């Protein structure tokens, strides 16, 4: 159960518990608002965690791009020094980091979309809390003058009519999607070693081609690369 799911149940449980104890309607309304504000603070923490994960993915993307560039330069330097084997290895590592950068970039984009959606839901919840604060006095006056049965019905539907729970449930679905993606990434990491071996079966020819292009750009086209 995610934290947003727990908060959704907490809001309903607190209000329903006060109703079952025949609490003062004014106390019920005030408690509901307190719960909503507490839930908002915890939801903000969830969004902050998602943003931190997004920033980490962006850093990994940039780091691997930088490493790919560095190995490209090292390949050229190795060729100038007459070491074709070192150049080939540098190009292999360059390609690996390019692949990693692409993977992290794709994950970053998906994570950022999730963060944007969570932010939208958080702003909607904040606006609803402000609206309920403004209406609190009116709601209290109506509750105090209503019959007990009418009060029970009105307050029991308080969070539903205000759609605050809709905001929580929407955020919960988004966070669940994030958890599913995280689990998928774990599975991909477990399969990564085999995938890397399979990719490398056909990569020697790709490295040969890139080595030939590099030598040609450096005016070293007279030396033929080994054909796979």
Per-residue pLDDT tens over the stretch 37-83: 888 888 888 889 999 999 999 999 999 999 999 999 999 999 999 89
In a domain, 223, yes or no: no
Report the domain count for the chain: 1
Tokens 């009105």 sit at which residue? 154
**Domain range for 72:** 3-217
122-147 residue pLDDT tens: 888 888 888 878 877 777 666 666 65
In a domain, 36, yes or no: yes
- 104 Cβ contact list (under 8 Å, min separation 6): 57, 58, 60, 61, 64
N-term to C-term CA, the chain: 53
72-123 residue pLDDT tens: 999 999 999 989 999 999 999 999 999 999 999 999 999 999 888 888 888 8
Tokens 């809001």 sit at which residue? 11
In a domain, 66, yes or no: yes
Q: Indicate if the pLDDT at residue 174 is higher than 50.
A: yes
CB 114 within 8 A of CB 177: yes
With CA atoms as reference, report the closest residue to 172 among 81, 46, 64, 52.
46
Q: Indicate if the pLDDT at residue 191 is higher than 70.
A: no
In a domain, 225, yes or no: no
For residue 206, give Cα distances in angstroms to 14, 82, 199, 203: 63, 21, 11, 5
CB 100 within 8 A of CB 64: yes
* Element housing 220 (H / E): none
Q: Indicate if the pLDDT at residue 221 is higher than 70.
A: no
In a domain, 24, yes or no: yes
Q: Phi and psi of 80, rounded to 5°?
A: -60, -35
In a domain, 76, yes or no: yes
Distance CA 158, CA 12 (A): 9
Predicted TM-score (pTM) of this structure = 0.53
With CA atoms as reference, report the closest residue to 104 among 151, 62, 150, 149.
62
In a domain, 226, yes or no: no
In a domain, 224, yes or no: no
């Amino acid at each position: 159960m995610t934290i947003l799911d727990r908060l959704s149940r907490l809001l309903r449980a607190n209000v329903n518990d006060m109703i079952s104890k025949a609490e003062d309607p004014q106390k019920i309304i005030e408690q509901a608002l307190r719960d909503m504000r507490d839930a908002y603070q915890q939801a903000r923490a969830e969004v902050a965690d998602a943003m931190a994960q997004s920033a980490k993915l962006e850093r990994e993307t940039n780091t691997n791009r930088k490493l790919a560039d560095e190995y490209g330069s090292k390949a050229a330097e190795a060729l100038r020094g007459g070491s074709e084997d070192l150049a080939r290895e540098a190009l292999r590592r360059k390609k690996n980091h390019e692949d990693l950068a692409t993977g992290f970039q794709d994950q970053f984009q998906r994570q950022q979309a999730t963060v944007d959606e969570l932010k939208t839901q958080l702003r909607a919840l904040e606006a609803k809390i402000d609206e309920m604060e403004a209406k609190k006095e009116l709601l209290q006056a109506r509750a105090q003058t209503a019959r007990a049965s009418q009060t029970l019905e009105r307050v029991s539907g308080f969070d539903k009519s205000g759609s605050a729970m809709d905001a929580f449930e929407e955020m919960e679905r988004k966070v669940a999607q994030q958890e599913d993606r995280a689990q998928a990434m774990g599975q991909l990491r477990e399969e990564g070693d085999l995938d890397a071996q399979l990719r490398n079966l056909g990569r020697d020819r790709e490295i040969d081609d890139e080595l030939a292009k590099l030598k040609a750009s450096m005016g070293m086209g007279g030396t033929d690369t080994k054909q796979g």
